[in-house]
Amino acid sequence: MVLRVVAHLSEDEEGGPKEIAVELDDFTLLFFETVIAELKAKLGIDSSAPFDYLEYEEDGYPCNVKTDEEIQSLSESPPEDPLHIWLKSSRHHHAISDDFILNSADFIMKQELATGQFGTVYLAEDIRHERLVAVKSIIANLEMAKMQQEVEILSELRDCPQIVQFFGAIFEDDHIKIILEYMDGLSLDKYEPLPIDVHGVASVAIINALSFLWSKSIIHRDIKPSNFLVNSNGDVKLADFGVSRTLEFSNAFTGVGTAIYLPPERIKGGAYSVSSDVWSLGLSLTEMALGSALWAAQNNSFNIVSDFSHHIIENLSKIFEEIGSIDFDLQALISGCLKPIPNDRLAFYDLKGTKFVKKYSFVNKKVVADFILSKQSVNAGFV
Instruction: Tell me, letter by letter, the H, E, C secondary structure of the chain.
Output: CCEEEEEEECCCCCCCCCEEEEEECCCHHHCHHHHHHHHHHHHCCCCCCCCCEEEEEECCEEEEECCHHHHHHHHHCCCCCCEEEEEECHHHCCCCCHHHECCHHHEEEEEEEEEECCEEEEEEEECCCCEEEEEEEEEHHHHHHHHHHHHHHHHHCCCCCCECCEEEEEECCCEEEEEEECCCCCEHHHHCCCCHHHHHHHHHHHHHHHHHHHHCCEECCCCCHHHEEECCCCCEEECCCCCCEECCCCCCCCCCCCHHHCCHHHHCCCCCCHHHHHHHHHHHHHHHHHCCCCCCCCCCCHHHHHHHHHHHHHCHHHHHHHHHCCCHHHHHHHHHHCCCCHHHCCCHHHHHHCHHHHHHCCCCCHHHHHHHHHHHHHCCCCC
CA distance 224 to 221: 10
Question: What's the average model confidence in pLDDT over 225-243?
Answer: 89
Least confident among 76-85, 241-250, 317-326, 342-351: 241-250
- The pLDDT value given to residue 250: 38
3, 83 in Cβ contact below 8 A? yes
φ, ψ (nearest 5 deg) of residue 373 = -65, -35
CB-CB neighbours of 99 under 10 Å: 8
Region class of 179: left (phi > 0), else alpha (psi between -120 and 50), else beta: beta
Would you say residue 15 has pLDDT above 80?
no
Question: What's the average model confidence in pLDDT over 272-297?
Answer: 82
Chain segment 95-153, per-residue pLDDT in tens: 566 778 899 999 999 999 987 666 789 999 999 999 999 998 877 654 555 666 677 77
CA distance 266 to 345: 15
All structural domains of the chain with their residue ranges: 3-91, 98-181, 188-378
Catalytic residue among 184, 222, 235, 307: 222
Chain segment 186-212, per-residue pLDDT in tens: 999 999 899 999 999 999 999 999 999
- The pLDDT value given to residue 301: 45
Does residue 46 have an active-site annotation? no
Q: Identify the bridge partners of residue 238 per DSSP, sorted by sequence position.
A: 163, 228
Q: Between 319 and 265, where is the model more confident?
A: 319
Fold (topology level) of 188-378 = Transferase(Phosphotransferase); domain 1 (1.10.510)
pLDDT band for position 249 (cuts 50, 70, 90): very low
Please measure the distance between the N-terminal and C-terminal CA atoms of the chain and give it in whole angstroms.
60
Fold (topology level) of 3-91 = Ubiquitin-like (UB roll) (3.10.20)
CA distance 130 to 106: 10
Question: What's the average model confidence in pLDDT over 84-93?
Answer: 69
- The pLDDT value given to residue 251: 36
Question: What's the average model confidence in pLDDT over 149-170?
Answer: 86
Fold (topology level) of 98-181 = Phosphorylase Kinase; domain 1 (3.30.200)
Q: Helix crossing, 196-215 with 274-290: angle to 10°? A: 170
CA distance 198 to 10: 46
